[in-house]
């Protein structure tokens, strides 16, 4: 009886939901899709453990023979197609593809318990097998998606499923565990410092108290319920600007009344916790088996790890054809905003000019090449790297990343001992400082952290607006060291990985060091280009934290920044150094204790050294003119 009441309650929603609404652009696209494609909705695709994943299947009505398939897998409610998913489904049907949208395990109409990335090595593999076994399938599947719909593809690529013919991962960095120099565990960390974006994201997505459909429903009933009920929990609004300051960090969500779930598991881990290896993250010892067309962005969350993985996939050679067919496009936009490419693009507050790029044409050309065997659709002559050079505001091509011939240019951090703020005497110079040059000092108070303004970020409830923004408000603070070059007499293109080395001291056992790369225009506007951060206890690796001693001098190397920027004539190159970048990154409380479970912090007196064996510098990858 209880089961029947649940079904009846769900179906009673039909009259209200079926009332005619004003037609939107999505409504018009859905009507077009209905005309040219058949659909099967809320089909439960069985996994090896018996759990069923809810799946919508769209096939072109006029197609003859077996079809190639484009597969979009998601933790979001996309059974009612909208936005980019709807556009891709319609275009796929027009081009003779089956298009599949599948809810991850434990999300919306799928059975089971949710886990970030949705068990790609098992559920992803089993879904590919199911697709390939269908009578309408030609056995070739391409995976497509942005952000969460891309991140699960990475670990799946290591499985080298025989049906997985090609992939298009867009903005996929949160699917990377460890790759090369980057040890971010799905963007949970940068340099061992937790990022806050997933705190907000998990509040919205992780729902251990979610409603579920009763088991045993027939497919037509499931499909009818899914048309009129989204099972989408609506949680109370949160003032994240206030809540993100809550201490201890480990109670940020429980303070809102949330039951213990994924956040509490993750925040209790260290960067080297073996539990990270048990999730759906991709690690660079897993091999690589699928040709990939990557889409990345300069102002995204993890452009560095994304490009490091692109290079790794080209070198892996566990599948030689796959490694030989890795291509990347790098746009100037924030996370997943490839639809913003076009004339008169503005990113943050900076004009980027004409950023036009045929994203959809490239995607379907790529799939035609690998799923239909049309080699002319994506010619072998296509450059492996296409990237937008900010400042010059034009697209460039290269065979490798960084571009071949790139040379390292080193700039030393120098001053007379007073680089504090924009009004200090800090400078960047090609000449190494003489012995005895004064160090720079600043006081870092975790209760008064340096504010994040712009840069690469996403998905954080409005805490940080990504993009290019003026940093002078930040540079006015005395706890920010500012080092600026002389105006350039000729342009410099910096494209590749930007490395920093700092020689540091602190009164604290542990603190953070944050570095920012800035393009200073002739009018003084200080555009953020990239940033990085490192927790001092992890300077010798993540497996064995080592604390500082007062008066000791330590060499700190944050993970690289990545960019493509031309510093024009009259522009100046600037580096900022401080110890916080909040709310993008969790504040270090400077105690040397378990930072995320502590309630109070201490002030740290931090030093950047310049001279002798204790130099500090930045290394820029400069592309010859």
Whole-angstrom Cα Rg for the chain? 25
Q: How distant, in Å, are the alpha carbons of 110, 221, 231, 391 from that of 218? A: 14, 6, 18, 57
Residue 197 · residue 334 · CB < 8 Å: no
Q: Closest Cα to residue 167, out of 280, 295, 25, 65?
A: 295
What would the two tokens of residue 285 be? 């010892």
* Cα gap 485→411, rounded to integer Å: 8
* Cα gap 482→26, rounded to integer Å: 48
What would the two tokens of residue 281 be? 């993250």
Looking up tokens 């030689």 gives 320
* Cα gap 503→624, rounded to integer Å: 30
484 burial via Cβ count (<10 Å: 0-12, 13-18, 19+): buried
Give the CA count within 13 Å in the CB-facing half-sphere of 568. Answer: 10
Q: Closest Cα to residue 193, out of 546, 501, 583, 586?
A: 586
* Cα gap 247→251, rounded to integer Å: 7
430-463 burial: b if 16+ Cβ within 10 Å, else e: eeebeeebbbbbbebebeebbebbbbbbbbbbeb
* Cα gap 183→481, rounded to integer Å: 27
Alpha helix locations (H) across 357-512?
A: 359-371, 472-475
Sign of the alpha-carbon torsion through 498, 528, 465, 87: negative
| DSSP per-residue string spanning 368-381 | HHHHS--GGGS-TT
Q: What are phi and psi of 323, to 5 degrees?
A: -65, -30
Residues labelled as active-site residues: 147, 300, 335
Chain-centre distance of CA 101, in angstroms? 21
| DSSP per-residue string spanning 156-192 | HHHH--TTEEEEEEES-GGGEEEETTEE-TTTTEETT
């Amino acid at each position: 009886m209880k089961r029947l009441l649940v079904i009846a309650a769900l179906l009673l929603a039909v009259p209200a939901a079926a009332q005619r609404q004003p037609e939107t652009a999505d409504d018009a696209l859905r009507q077009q899709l209905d005309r040219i494609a058949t659909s099967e909705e809320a089909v439960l695709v069985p996994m090896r453990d018996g759990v069923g994943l809810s799946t919508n299947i769209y096939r072109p009505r006029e197609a003859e023979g077996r079809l190639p398939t484009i597969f979009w897998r998601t933790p979001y409610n996309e059974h009612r197609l909208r936005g980019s998913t709807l556009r891709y489904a319609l275009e796929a049907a027009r081009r003779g593809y089956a298009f599949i949208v599948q809810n991850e395990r434990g999300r919306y109409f799928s059975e089971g318990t949710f886990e970030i990335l949705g068990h790609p090595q098992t559920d992803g593999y089993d879904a590919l097998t199911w697709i390939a076994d269908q009578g309408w399938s030609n056995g070739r599947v391409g995976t497509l998606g942005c952000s969460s719909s891309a991140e699960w593809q990475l670990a799946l690529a290591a499985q080298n499923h025989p049906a997985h013919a090609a992939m298009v991962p867009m903005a996929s960095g949160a699917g990377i565990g460890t790759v090369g120099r980057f040890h971010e565990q799905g963007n949970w960390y940068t340099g061992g410092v937790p990022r806050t974006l997933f705190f907000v994201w998990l509040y919205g997505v992780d729902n251990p108290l979610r409603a579920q459909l009763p088991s045993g429903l027939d497919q037509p009933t499931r499909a009818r319920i899914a048309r009129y009920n989204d099972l989408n929990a609506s949680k109370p609004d949160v003032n994240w600007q206030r809540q993100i300051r809550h201490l201890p960090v480990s109670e940020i969500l429980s303070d809102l009344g949330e039951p213990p779930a994924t956040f509490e598991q993750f925040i209790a881990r260290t960067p080297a916790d073996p539990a990270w290896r048990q999730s759906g993250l991709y690690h660079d010892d897993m091999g690589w088996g699928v040709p990939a067309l990557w889409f990345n962005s300069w102002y995204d969350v993890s452009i560095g790890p994304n490009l490091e993985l692109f290079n790794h996939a080209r070198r892996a050679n566990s599948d030689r054809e796959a490694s030989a067919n890795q291509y990347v496009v790098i746009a100037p936009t924030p996370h997943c905003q490839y639809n913003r490419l076009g004339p008169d693009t503005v990113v943050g507050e900076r004009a980027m000019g004409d950023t036009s790029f045929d994203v959809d044409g490239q995607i379907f050309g790529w799939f035609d090449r690998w799923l239909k065997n049309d080699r002319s659709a994506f010619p072998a002559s296509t450059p492996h790297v296409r990237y937008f050079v900010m400042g010059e505001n034009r697209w460039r091509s290269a065979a490798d990343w960084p571009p071949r011939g790139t040379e390292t240019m080193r700039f030393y951090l120098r001053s007379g001992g007073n680089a504090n703020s924009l009004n200090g005497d800090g400078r960047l110079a090609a000449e190494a400082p003489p012995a005895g040059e004064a160090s720079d000092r600043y006081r870092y108070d975790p209760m008064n952290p340096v504010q994040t303004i712009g840069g690469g970020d996403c998905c954080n409830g409005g805490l940080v607006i990504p993009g290019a923004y003026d940093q002078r408000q930040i540079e006015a603070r005395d706890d920010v060291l500012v080092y600026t070059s002389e105006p350039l007499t000729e342009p410099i293109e910096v494209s590749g990985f930007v490395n920093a080395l700092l020689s540091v001291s602190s009164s604290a056992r542990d603190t953070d060091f944050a570095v920012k790369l800035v393009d200073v225009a002739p009018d003084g506007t200080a555009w953020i280009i990239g940033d990085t951060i490192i927790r001092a206890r992890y300077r010798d690796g993540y497996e064995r934290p080592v604390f500082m001693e007062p008066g000791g001098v330590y060499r700190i190397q944050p993970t690289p920044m990545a960019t493509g920027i031309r510093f024009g004539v009259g522009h100046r190159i600037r580096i900022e150094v401080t110890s916080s970048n909040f709310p993008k990154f969790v504040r270090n409380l400077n105690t040397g204790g378990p930072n995320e479970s502590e309630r109070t912090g201490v002030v740290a007196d931090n030093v950047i050294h310049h001279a002798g064996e204790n130099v500090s510098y930045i290394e820029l990858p400069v592309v010859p003119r």
